[in-house]
Amino acid sequence: MLVKADSFIFYFWWITMAQLLAQEEKEKTTALKDLLSRIDLDELMKKDEPPLIFPKTLEEFEYAFNEHGQLRHTTTGEPFVFNYKEDLHRWNQKRYEALGEIITQYVYDRLEKDCKLRKEMLPVDAEEDEPKSFIYLSEDALTNPDKLLVLIQGSGVVRAGQWARRLIINEDLDSGTQIPFINRAIKEGYGVMVLNPNENFLEVEKVPGAEQSAADASDEPAEKRERREEREGKKKKDFYEKYRNPQKERETERIPIRENCSPEDHTLYVWDHFIFKSRARNVLVVAHSYGGLSFVELMIQREDEVTSRVTAVAMTDSIHNVWHQEANRSIQDWLKEKCCNWVSSSEPLDTQLEPMLPDCLRLSAGTEKHELTSWKSFHSIFKFFDKHLEQQMEEEEEEKVGEEEEPSTIVTTRSTNRAKHEDL
């Protein structure tokens, strides 16, 4: 009986202690919640991360391109370091993007100063205060009677003259830019046209308070507005993931560039206003990744014009799809004859690969890296162009001979008739 009493007392004590501990834990949780409600997490977390203010030039970044076109630190000679501040991934990413914008301007300068290309603003009839884009042209791009090279990059942050920003920063200018293609084309007598399919919007800073004024002016019910503000307040006070950057960034809005608000629209616009109006008998195209899709879309919109002017198309890891894009049978047949796609593969360069769709020939680019396919297939592309240019020349010669034979017969007949008339 005494043992049962002791057990009951112990059990009662254990329950009491558990309740006290639970109460204490609850009070701690309540206190923590109260503390969090009074702390501005944004301000607190800002202290763990430097401001989003970065250099505006390569010199200020302390980087420069060496004689091999490689980006190196001016003091240490080391390649670019992404993880500049450990455990601050988003800040490092913003720093990388800031450097990328400087690289874009650097490439523009190289196109203008070294390659002697000029900017042509789009739209061609743009008003002074209208959002604009541009392309680059060689001096003879529109007047060269023989051949014109058109370069179309893929999607993303890359701008005119670039294949891949990552390659420019981490490898070199030759692999990441279109400059080697431009220089070789000019040397071999091509006119050159460099498209800019990703420059689709003008980003402008939002006017502070404009959005709020619009919300205040609306007929939003008070209850609904309160629920929205409550949700926004909860978001602000929640714990963010490890690399979340709470610093308030500049808010912008995008104003589309007329008739150039997508890569496909841009390619079509440049075709209508520049490529098709050029004098070149032979238009040759290099299209990387999404650029291949844009070219196929151009064919769908302007099939007769494209097939009459384009001599050959070199795609590099193109993501086009003739089925999804609903390209007709005649387009598919033309692509089989005039197009080649160098794709990422572990096979040696120029190894023929199994076709995936009923369109162009697929060859290995000799690399498994998507962004490297253009550079790795550089020499093969110009050999491919030379082959098609020779074929085109032979066809023109045959047509010329045929045209000359027919008039010569007519001339002879007229001459004979004239001689007979004179005899009479």
Q: Quick one: DSSP state of residue 181? A: H
* Residue of 271, 281, 269, 279 whose CA lies nearest to 141: 279
Q: Which of 133, 175, 289, 345 is catalytic?
A: 289
Closest alpha carbon to 192 in 278, 95, 261:
278
The one-character DSSP state at 122 is E
The burial class, CB within 10 Å (0-12 / 13-18 / 19+), for 31 is exposed
* CA distance linking residue 374 with residue 78, whole number of Å: 26
Cis ω on the peptide bond leading into residue 51 (within 30° of 0)? no
How far is Cα 43 from Cα 350, in angstroms, rounded to an integer? 57
C-alpha span between 257 and 268 (Å, rounded)? 14
Instruction: Identify whether the C-beta of residue 110 lies closer than 8 Å to the C-beta of residue 179.
Output: yes
What is the per-residue burial (b if ≥16 Cβ within 10 Å, else e) of 262-284?
bbbbbbbbbbbbbbeebebbbbb
Of 395, 386, 398, nearest in space to 147 by CA: 386
Distance CA 361, CA 343 (A): 10
Which residues contact residue 198 at a Cβ distance below 8 angstroms, ignoring those fewer than 6 apart? Answer: 153, 155, 156, 157, 158, 159, 263
CB 365 within 8 A of CB 342: yes
Burial of 390 (0-12, 13-18, 19+ CB in 10 A): exposed
218 to each of 134, 207, 349, how far by Cα in Å? 39, 18, 62
- In angstroms, the CA 171 to CA 136 distance is 24
H/E run at residue 406: helix 378-423
37 classed as catalytic: no
Catalytically active residues are: 289
